[in-house]
Homo-oligomer: A and B are copies of this chain.
């Protein structure tokens, strides 16, 4: 730093102010300091800087599965915001396992992350209160926490599914099936709630045999297709409750005729080429909104916890616009 100060013709204190982005430095002076830094190839000592500001320079992101394209898009958006705030992202997959979620929170916490973004697996989060009181901000993404009040960013699961049912009903469908993720996944039960409300609004009888919540695998989805979407009493349309269900459903339906109408919740890559109508939302926006909220907290925003619900929209592409 003294070399930089000498080259720029300023005091060491001024160099320090510029490096730490403190105010009260004339722009011209700051420019000269930055040029001197550039010229000397001065590399900030991150460890020292982090110690000084009491930060490890990392935030934690806990999702169900970093390999699921939905979460990798979320990860990319979070990384974008984190980079702008000079932070790195520690990621972990909890695989819908509440024990694993808790382990990851403790691990990240013991690594002193500056904050955490959590797509929670479980619905009990009292265990987080000590970490939160100790000053680690937490923002819940895509699903709310169970038994505590905390910042949460969601999409309109309920409204989107109501819209899907009404869309299919407008195209003449009276028997619509809903195939969602496990019943302990918040988005699955919210979308199921939207499904029931949509049936009500469209004047359809809600038939609980047509609503199935299960871990989406090719096997489980194929089984439901065989039970509900074939034979004389079959449903003529189906709503896929998330991107994983949709992908398995497309495979399971590959050789089924007549083919039911399909609307998926969540957009996914190549859905357009496969003509799949979806309830779309911007996963990038979801990640950005959550990360921005988190950095607001890290920078001292201590207002009451917020709940943000992002809008969704129907993208008609063919599969949802066929008559029974």
Contacts and interface: CB of A to CB of B under 8 A. Distances in A.
Interface of A: 43, 45-47, 56-58, 65-69, 71-73, 75-77, 79, 88-93, 106-108, 110-112, 247, 250-251, 254, 269-270, 272-274
Nearest to A110: B46
A134 B71 CA distance: 35
Nearest to A75: B66
A69 B274 contact: no
8 contacts: A67-B75, A72-B72, A79-B91, A79-B93, A89-B92, A91-B91, A247-B270, A269-B269
Contact of A67 (B65, B73, B106): B73
- Per DSSP, chain A at the interface is mixed
Given A69-B72, A88-B107, A89-B92, 8 more contacts: A46-B110, A58-B111, A66-B72, A67-B72, A67-B77, A79-B93, A90-B90, A270-B270
Contact of A110 (B45, B65, B272): B45
Nearest to A108: B88
A107 B69 CA distance: 26
Nearest to A272: B251
Contacts of A93: 76, 79
Contacts of A79: 66, 91-93
Nearest to A77: B67
B111 A88 contact: yes
Contact of A107 (B46, B71, B107, B112): B46
